Amino acid sequence: MKCPVCKTVDLEQAGYTFRCNRCDGAWVKAEVVIPLLEERASTIVELDWKPNTEAHVRACPECGTAMETVKLGTVALDRHEPHGVWFDARELAALLKQAKAFRADPPEHATLMEKLHKLLG
């Protein structure tokens, strides 16, 4: 896979990510994004991807399709939904700091159980 910013640099696997040694960007595969944030938040997360308008178009490192620009929390990212998310330098760290903000609402039965526990406790 080639870096979508530098275009000629091969991405190298580094833990959960594939990194560009030139621009310090990181590619995170789609199936890894949620578990990575859940690990950081120590809870189940839900991601609310918002559209973002940026003037650049970057190609997905896996298939070459143009990625959409999105926002997750306060971080602007490039995303190709079936394959993954591109993080420019420092964006992954910024998103990981916000991980707890993506906490999923508890299921209805969990809320009911909490209420019963408080009544009986």
Rg (CA), the chain: 17
Q: Which residues pair with 32 in a beta bridge?
A: none
Nearest one of 120, 108, 99 to 46, comparing CA atoms: 99
- Contact in structure between 11 and 2 (CB atoms under 8 Å): yes
Tens of pLDDT, residue by residue over 82-107, are: 999 999 999 999 999 999 999 887 65
Give ∠ CA 99-104-108 in degrees, rounded to 5: 160
Rounded Cα distance between 41 and 39, Å, is 6
Tens of pLDDT, residue by residue over 44-82, are: 899 999 999 887 889 999 999 999 999 999 999 999 999
Parallel, antiparallel, or unpaired: how do β-strands 17-19 and 84-87 relate? unpaired
pTM for the model:
0.83
Structure confidence at residue 56 (pLDDT) = 84
Q: Amino acid letter at 44?
A: I
Structure confidence at residue 9 (pLDDT) = 95
Tens of pLDDT, residue by residue over 103-120, are: 887 655 556 666 666 777
